[in-house]
């Protein structure tokens, strides 16, 4: 009963915060618009990318003005056409330039299948590397590699490590629901990589992910993965008496 009431309270709180953020973003966008448009006028010849940059950068400025940062994502996945993957890459480059010109505190997130991973991993690597290199010039240089279905988990993490070996301003998302994730968390800790942990939204078979009846119960896969990351951070602080709980 306590857990049910707590879940209901958290849901109400989350909805309230979400509404507040939207209201603040709209209000901030009005004040931020001249600054954003001045930055976008420096990006000729990239109208679709500039439109995406306009929308996301306006919201980023609005959130910044409210004391929050943001992450920008040019949505897309399962791209097989090289020209389309290059257009997606160029949209990210334009967004990063607009963020820098507008003085927005924001980073970017991307899906590797939008970069051409399904057709040519080497080609996708070149696209991601260009984005990570461009992002390094921004105040917030981080690039988050979103996780997709389990069919591309291994190639996603392989490509991440290849980029991470040369540039540290990149990190993956890990899905707690996958059976393999404890090992992936341990590997990320070993690398010293910055990870975003999520429960996972993809429908996966029982050989890949356990039955989802664990949701809402503790400790579940998410709790265990989060504890591993938290305990590693505590160890880095040098206090052996502390433990995540």
65 in catalytic set: no
CA–CA dist 74, 13 (Å, integer): 28
Instruction: Tell me how far CA of residue 94 lies from CA of 31, 76, 91, 100, 169, in angstroms.
Output: 22, 16, 5, 10, 18
What b/e string do you get for 217-236 counting C-beta neighbours within 10 Å, with b at 16 or more? eeebbbeebbebbeebeeee
- Residue 146 annotated in active site: yes
- Cβ contact 143:108 at 8 Å: yes
Q: Return the H-helix or E-strand segment holding 194.
A: none
| Active-site residue (options: 105, 168, 180, 196) | 196
How far is Cα 188 from Cα 156, in angstroms, rounded to an integer? Answer: 13
Distance, CA of 199 to CA of 185 (rounded, Å)? 13
Task: Mark out the alpha helices in 46-113 (DSSP H runs).
Answer: 47-65, 82-102
- Determine which one of 129, 140, 146, 184 is catalytic: 146
Phi, psi of 72 (to 5 degrees): -110, 140
How crowded is residue 104: how many other Cβ atoms within 10 Å of its Cβ?
29
Q: Taking the alpha carbons of 217, 222, 225, 227 in that order, is the dihedral positive or negative? A: negative
Catalytic residues: 146, 196
């Amino acid at each position: 009963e306590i857990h049910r009431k707590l879940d209901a309270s958290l849901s109400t709180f989350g909805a309230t915060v979400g509404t507040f953020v939207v209201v603040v973003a709209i209000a901030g966008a009005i004040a931020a618009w001249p600054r954003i448009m001045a930055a976008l006028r420096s990006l000729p010849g990239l109208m679709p990318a500039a439109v995406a940059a306009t929308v996301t950068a306006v919201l980023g400025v609005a959130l910044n003005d409210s004391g929050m940062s943001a992450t920008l994502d040019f949505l897309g996945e399962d791209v097989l056409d090289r020209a389309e993957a290059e257009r997606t890459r160029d949209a990210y480059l334009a967004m990063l330039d607009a963020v820098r010109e507008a003085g927005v505190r924001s980073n970017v997130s991307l899906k590797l299948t939008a970069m051409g991973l399904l057709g040519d991993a080497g080609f996708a690597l070149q696209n991601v590397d260009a984005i990570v290199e461009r992002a390094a010039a921004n105040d917030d240089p981080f690039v988050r590699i979103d996780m997709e279905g389990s069919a591309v988990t291994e190639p996603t993490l392989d490509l991440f490590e290849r980029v991470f070996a040369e540039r540290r301003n990149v990190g993956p998302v890990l899905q707690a629901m996958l059976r393999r994730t404890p090992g992936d968390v341990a590997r990320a800790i070993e690398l010293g990589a910055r990870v975003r942990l999520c429960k996972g939204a993809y429908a996966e078979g029982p050989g890949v992910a356990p039955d989802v009846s664990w949701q809402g119960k503790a400790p579940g896969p998410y709790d265990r993965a989060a504890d591993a990351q938290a305990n590693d951070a505590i160890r880095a602080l040098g206090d052996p008496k502390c433990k995540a709980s």
